[in-house]
Structure 1
Amino acid sequence: MIVDAHHHLWRPERGYTWLDDPELAGIRRPFTPQDLRAEVTAAGVRHTVLVEGGRCHRDEVPEFLGYAADTEPIAGVVAWADVTDPDLTDTLAGYRRMRGGELLVGIRSQIQGEPDPDYLDRPEVRRGLAAVADAGLVFDLVVRADQLPAAARAARDLPQVPFVLDHLGKPRIRAGVAGLAGWSADLAALAVSPNVTAKLSGLVTEAGPGWTVAALRPFVTVAVDTFGASRLMFGSDWPVCLLVADYGTVRDALGAALPPLSAAERDEIFAGTATRVYRLAVGPEGADGCNATAR
């Protein structure tokens, strides 16, 4: 079985202004549950986690929960919320009452858009993170590489909060060896906290046009050495990945970039970790020949 722990859906006309960037013209179109179903079926992926798409508006939440309720591959939703919302506890309770609210598994704020690398140190942010944990939810960390130290401090100081690091903290893959140095140390500092897991997602996009498996491999290897297979999960980052690679290519690239692992370890990365961390109601692991498709 394969679980995709990170993908998006959007309709640009509904407020996804970040897609106005000329470099994003290739993905500036609607991506619907029907599109998703076709992609995951072709790629042999059984379940997915739908992640907020940068709209940063509560109106997205009932739409995405409704998608999850109506679309069999979507097993969970990581919805947007303002982590500094003083009424965050009530906001999250309201999400739970929405149709499909039982499929809410996590919350994400666009921390990467905050200029302050120490944003996660702010008291109002820490209160919000605690409220997410109190609601029984995971907090997805979408951060820049320079925000990793603050993420490590937050994870250390809030051991009750289950954190998931998106895209490995966006390392500078295009910089090669130079991109590994500071990032790998900061990643290790974050991984010290056992309440943190990480997604092997978004890497082809960070590598950019002309990416190769060889360019990804050192970063993937560091992640495996740092977190271990039981704390890593596959994410396609579709449709953002379409800027440089299609869905199936992303899945295959990760399989090729992984260091030698046992079948059980590969199953953790491609299904088990996401299922466990997000508490997804899915079928038994290994039923879909994960290892055959992930080589």
Structure 2
Amino acid sequence: MASEIPIIDSHIHVYPEAELNTLAWYTEDSLIGGRRSVEEFKSASASASSQVQGFVFLEADRKNDSSQSWTGPLAEIAWLRRIATGQPREGEGHTAEDAKLCLGIIPWAPMNLGAAKLEEYLAQAEKEAGPETWKKVKGFRYLLQDKPNGTALSDDFIDGLRLLGKKGFVFDVGIDQHRRGRVQLEEVVEMIDRAHDGVPEEEKVVFILNHLCKPDLTVVNHLSDTGFNAWRTAMFTLSKCKQTYMKLSGCFAEMPDSLKVRPAEDIFMALFPWLAIVLASFGSSRIMFASDWPVCTVGVDGAWEKWKKVVERTCYMATISDEDQKMLWAGTARKAYRLDAEEE
């Protein structure tokens, strides 16, 4: 049955080689530089091509000068428009037929500037996207993992989150407990509470947590590790909010290099303490499969297929039913991102 379950990869990045210099993280020696296109993604996931129904694109961190310049982020939306409407330029690595694979788009947004500026940006983003592509824009992300402490708790940021909720958009949460510590976990808990406080149920913004919130997967004795205990507590706290979902992804980037090269079975065993907590806290109906391609490929051969095997092993060991597996592999992404909803 598992081999027949549809898959939606709820977290991939694509970017054309011609626009590499607009990416904030790009350097000439970057291991994920070069063209990263739908064609390359299809090749990476070819072993499950009959199952993969499509993907959700996540913004790839275009330069924005602390939200003062929108040129790069808007160029990214224009790039996604070419994919979503099947109008490739020569050498971009996608075809007209690939448009059906682009199920959802999560661009960048200047959440730190407050509701008024966010409204202004959304208007420009909608114009850049065009009606057909705008239907696929399901939410936005503003990476918090590298921002100063307190960024997500400013009144402007909270007002921006409330605006997204009112408009029916989700917010993807990218934080990094591994490198930034427990403060990022604590701030996300407070951020969600404040964004929802006093807001009508139907206008509460949906939060989608990326990559297990990036815990430190190099920990050996997790039972006595204060970082693990803080992460575990945060998972159960965050899961109490029913508008919060978790992506099962991003683990290769947080584990030691020696583990990355091991078989999927060994990786599953090493990750079991973290995977068990996520399953226990969020349950399969609020967890979604994601690869974090192409970031997952750094130091990992056959990364997409290897991660798929880790998740399959997780489902088997947790005795997750076929119906619940359908949610984890695709249904949760459809629900959280409202991938089947038509815009009015």
Shared fold, TM over 0.5? yes
- Does 2:236 correspond to 1:188? yes
Q: Is the 8 A contact 1:89 1:132 kept in 2?
A: no
Partner residue of 1:143 out of 154, 159, 175: 175
CA drift of 1:21 comes to: 8.3
**Corresponding residue of 1:101:** 134
User: What does the per-residue CA deviation read over 1:206-253, in whole Å, with 9 as the maximum and x for residues that have no partner?
Assistant: 114232221222111100100111111010000000013321111111
**Corresponding residue of 1:82:** 110
**Residue 39 of structure 2: SS of its match in structure 1?**
helix
**Corresponding residue of 1:205:** 253
**Corresponding residue of 1:228:** 283
**Residue 56 of structure 2: SS of its match in structure 1?**
strand
**d(CA) in 1 for partners of 2:42, 2:84:** 12
How do 1:273-288 and structure 2 match up within 5 A? 273-281=332-340
How many aligned residue pairs are there?
Answer: 279
Q: Which consecutive residues of structure 2, in runs of 5 or more, have no partner in the other structure?
A: 1-5, 64-71, 87-98, 197-203, 260-266
* Percent identity over paired residues: 25
Partner residue of 1:129 out of 161, 165, 170: 161
Moved over 6 A (4+): none
Task: Indicate how the Cα distance of structure 1 residues 175 and 21 shifts in structure 2: closer, same or farther if over 3 A, else same.
Answer: farther
**Corresponding residue of 2:77:** 61
**d(CA) in 2 for partners of 1:39, 1:74:** 16
User: What does the per-residue CA deviation read over 1:22-53, in whole Å, with 9 as the maximum and x for residues that have no partner?
Assistant: 5xx33122101222233334323111101001
CA drift of 1:62 comes to: 1.9
Amino acid paired to 2:7: I
**Corresponding residue of 2:14:** 9
User: What does the per-residue CA deviation read over 1:173-207, in whole Å, with 9 as the maximum and x for residues that have no partner?
Assistant: 11141352111111212112111101001012211
Q: Is the 8 A contact 1:143 1:169 kept in 2?
A: yes
**Corresponding residue of 2:152:** 120
Amino acid paired to 2:122: L
User: What does the per-residue CA deviation read over 1:156-184, in whole Å, with 9 as the maximum and x for residues that have no partner?
Assistant: 22231100000011001111413521111
**Residue 110 of structure 2: SS of its match in structure 1?**
coil
**d(CA) in 2 for partners of 1:9, 1:69:** 15
**d(CA) in 2 for partners of 1:40, 1:94:** 34
Q: Is the 8 A contact 1:148 1:190 kept in 2?
A: no
**Residue 61 of structure 2: SS of its match in structure 1?**
coil
Q: Is the 8 A contact 2:8 2:330 kept in 1?
A: yes
**d(CA) in 1 for partners of 2:282, 2:146:** 26
**d(CA) in 2 for partners of 1:190, 1:219:** 15
**d(CA) in 1 for partners of 2:138, 2:12:** 14
Q: Which consecutive residues of structure 1, in runs of 5 or more, have no partner in the other structure?
A: 283-295
Q: Is the 8 A contact 1:138 1:164 kept in 2?
A: yes
**d(CA) in 1 for partners of 2:16, 2:154:** 33
**d(CA) in 1 for partners of 2:272, 2:319:** 11
TM normalised by structure 1 equals 0.88
From the CA coordinates, give the structure whose radius of gyration is larger.
2
Partner residue of 1:42 out of 47, 55, 65: 47
